[in-house]
Amino acid sequence: MTTALELDERYGRRGRRRLPWVIGGIIGVAVVVAFGWMTVASQLNTVTAQDTGFTLTDSHTVDISFQYTAPRGSDVVCVVQALDKEFGVVGWKVMDIAATQKHTAAVQVSIPTVAQATTGLVKSCWVA
């Protein structure tokens, strides 16, 4: 009597068990590569901003200075705001910053306010 193992070896059915594993492995690698690329691509256009200081010029003006890091050669848009002592927004401005070949640059901006401000800061920045 012939066993199942002998029949598998004789007719080559053994190799078929590997095919699902090989296909699954290829699909798994493709998924990992796709998620890796999406992560890298999203980081390529990331802009970060750091407040470096502010000056209360008068009761209706605040000067804010900050530093931003963005991809070289990209136009950047930043929103800056002035806050009062209760952290209410008393002034804000949308800034268009022209592209430079520097990775990091410093900016200073003056914001008109509707009331006395106690601080000024960068709310957010992004690639235009």
Across the chain, what does the average pLDDT equal?
A: 89
Alpha helices per DSSP H over the chain: 4-11, 18-44
The pLDDT score that the predictor gives to residue 20 is 83
pTM, entire model: 0.66
Q: What is the pLDDT confidence band of residue 49, given thresholds at 50, 70 and 90?
A: very high
| The token pair that represents 97 in the structure block | 């910053």
Instruction: Give the model confidence (pLDDT) of 50-85 as tens digits.
Output: 999 999 999 899 999 999 999 888 899 999 999 999
> For residue 33, with 0-12 CB atoms within 10 Å meaning exposed, 13-18 middle and 19 or more buried, which class applies?
exposed
For residue 40, the tally of other CB atoms under 10 A from its CB is 9
Instruction: Give the model confidence (pLDDT) of 98-121 as tens digits.
Output: 988 888 999 999 999 999 999 999
The pLDDT score that the predictor gives to residue 62 is 94
70 beta partners: none
Instruction: Give the model confidence (pLDDT) of 11-28 as tens digits.
Output: 776 655 678 888 999 999
Cα 84 to Cα 66, 96, 109, 120, distances in angstroms: 19, 24, 18, 9
Q: What is the pLDDT confidence band of residue 86, given thresholds at 50, 70 and 90?
A: very high
The pLDDT score that the predictor gives to residue 45 is 79
